[in-house]
């Protein structure tokens, strides 16, 4: 394929992305999984990234291009919307098409005829391990694929932002200190149940990051109130009884509740909770996703010590764990979240920054230290 690629990052990462999809396709076939997507070759990956990058820098009526491309033949999609005429895959065409297909869940189908890539229509249904390329904002592209079970957030493979390329390291989720939320985002140990608490917590994190105001979500064990030792009293916005909007949905029987109803109901309840994280202070839920309080001010517990350092990790290839003071990660929010986990070692703290960074703080029994897992590369 004669690409004429001018975006250097596309050239550098295309081979790695092809290898990722090839590896998963081989493993899926060995497990006798069906409905598997075709794997794009390196040249196709390079071309898709190059065209999408330049499209992301275009604006249509003053609005930046946001679009999702999926590499699949129309026959692999269920009830696709087919264009009568093929459209060429160019930055100009993508920018013109984007306003009509920018809603979440809509993918522009791309296939090839010889050495030429073309757009054949749109689809909301994708086969397993289908290559997806999201244009999230100007200069920001995310390569991802659908989960085998088809449930929950897509699994990110690589994030490209300008000349920066981050390839997700799946192996980073295999150690004992990895929270369930992180291993699920990496495609490891993920539950096929759409009402699994970990899958729901991921949706909460995505929504929390999306409001772009920053915030802290504390996840505490159900059945005890020890978390109150680490906040200032009186609480500004305590909730009594605990609000169980999300928790009640998790308890619904998946055999008698339709997935579409549940997803719509969950979206409303999640936004109800995550909107509160924009209020100054921390929002507190238990591990059953019951809301306990919001606007809580975190303080060091009595008889505790100040947290002096955390072990910072990011699940990307080449990422090296670093010991640092928590204030170096992002300021007051991160310092208070690290202190909370240092005091309440059976809890987790999720911190969203206004600039899009997202960090999960958890306690490591192995290393006896607070871990700071930077996971925004997995949530985009």
List the helix and strand counts (H, then E) for the chain: 10, 19
What is the rounded CA–CA span in Å between residue 62 and residue 229? 50
Q: What is the dihedral of CA 249, 254, 256, 258, to 10 degrees?
A: 80
β-pairing verdict for 131-137 and 164-167: unpaired
Question: Each residue's pLDDT tens digit in the chain (380 positions)?
Answer: 455 789 999 999 999 999 999 999 998 888 888 888 999 999 999 999 999 999 999 999 899 999 999 999 999 998 999 999 999 999 999 999 999 999 988 999 999 999 899 999 999 999 989 999 999 999 999 999 987 654 567 899 999 999 999 999 988 877 778 898 998 888 877 666 667 888 889 999 999 999 999 999 999 999 899 999 999 999 999 999 999 999 998 887 766 667 677 778 888 999 999 999 999 999 999 999 999 999 999 999 998 999 999 999 999 999 899 999 999 998 899 999 999 999 999 999 999 999 889 999 999 999 999 999 999 999 98
- pLDDT, residue 178, reads 86
| Helix axis angle, 91-101 to 42-56, nearest 10° | 70
14 and 35 in contact (C-beta within 8 Å)?
no
What is the rounded CA–CA span in Å between residue 132 and residue 119? 14
What is the rounded CA–CA span in Å between residue 162 and residue 66? 16
**């006896």: which residue's tokens?**
368
**């909370």: which residue's tokens?**
340
What is the rounded CA–CA span in Å between residue 289 and residue 273? 9
β-pairing verdict for 237-243 and 291-296: antiparallel
**DSSP track, 179-226:** -HHHHHHTTSS--S-TT-HHHHHHHHHHHHHHT-S-EEEEEE-TT--G
CB atoms within 10 A of CB 282: 27
- The H or E element spanning position 16 is helix 8-30
Q: Which two tokens stand for residue 360?
A: 């999960």
Helix (H, G, I), strand (E, B) or coil at 374: strand
Q: Which of 204, 215, 205, 217 is nearest to 353 (CA)?
A: 215
Burial of 46 (0-12, 13-18, 19+ CB in 10 A): buried
CB atoms within 10 A of CB 277: 24
| C-alpha pair distances (Å), 276 with each of 2, 25, 283, 289 | 51, 41, 7, 14
- pLDDT, residue 227, reads 97
Q: Which of 51, 315, 344, 380 is nearest to 226 (CA)?
A: 344
| C-alpha pair distances (Å), 371 with each of 34, 287, 326, 334, 351 | 38, 19, 10, 12, 13
| CATH superfamily ID and name for 180-378 | DNA integrity scanning protein, DisA, N-terminal domain (3.40.1700.10)
Cα end-to-end distance, the chain, whole Å = 30
| C-alpha pair distances (Å), 123 with each of 65, 104, 128, 369 | 19, 11, 14, 46
**Domain range annotation of the chain:** 8-167, 180-378
52 and 40 in contact (C-beta within 8 Å)?
no
Q: What is the pTM of this model?
A: 0.89
């Amino acid at each position: 394929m004669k690409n004429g690629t001018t975006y250097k990052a596309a050239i550098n990462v295309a081979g790695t992305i092809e290898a990722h999809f090839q590896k998963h396709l081989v493993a899926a076939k060995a497990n006798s999984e069906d409905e598997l997507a075709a794997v794009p070759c390196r040249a196709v990956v390079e071309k898709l990234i190059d065209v999408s990058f330049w499209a992301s820098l275009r604006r249509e009526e003053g609005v930046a291009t946001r679009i999702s491309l999926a590499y699949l033949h129309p026959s692999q999609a269920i009830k696709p919307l087919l264009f009568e005429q093929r459209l060429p895959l160019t930055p100009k065409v993508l920018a013109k098409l984007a306003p009509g297909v920018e809603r979440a869940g809509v993918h522009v189908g791309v296939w090839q005829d010889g050495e030429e890539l073309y757009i054949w229509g749109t689809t909301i249904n994708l086969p397993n391990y289908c290559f997806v390329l999201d244009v999230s904002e100007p200069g920001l592209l995310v390569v991802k694929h659908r989960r085998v079970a088809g449930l929950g957030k897509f699994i990110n493979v690589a994030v490209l932002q300008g000349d920066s390329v981050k390839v997700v390291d799946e192996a980073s989720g295999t150690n004992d200190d990895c929270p369930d939320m992180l291993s699920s985002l990496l495609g490891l140990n993920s539950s096929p149940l759409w009402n699994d608490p970990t899958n729901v917590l991921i949706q909460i994190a995505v929504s929390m990051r999306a409001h772009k105001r920053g915030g802290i979500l504390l996840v505490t064990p159900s059945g005890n109130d020890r978390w109150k030792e680490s906040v200032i009293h009186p609480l500004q916005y305590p909730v009594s009884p605990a609000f169980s909007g999300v928790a009640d949905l998790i308890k619904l029987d998946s055999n008698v509740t339709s997935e579409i109803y549940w997803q719509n109901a969950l979206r409303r309840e999640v936004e109800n909770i995550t909107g509160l994280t924009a209020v100054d202070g921390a929002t507190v839920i238990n591990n059953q996703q019951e809301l306990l309080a919001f606007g809580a001010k975190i303080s060091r517990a009595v008889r505790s010590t100040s947290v002096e350092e955390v072990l910072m990790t990011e699940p990307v290839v080449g990422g090296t764990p670093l010991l640092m003071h928590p204030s170096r990660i992002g300021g007051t929010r991160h310092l208070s979240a690290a202190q909370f986990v240092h005091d309440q070692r059976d809890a987790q703290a999720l911190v969203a920054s206004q600039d899009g960074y997202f960090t999960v703080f958890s306690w490591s029994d192995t290393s006896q230290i607070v871990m700071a897992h930077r996971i925004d590369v997995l949530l985009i």
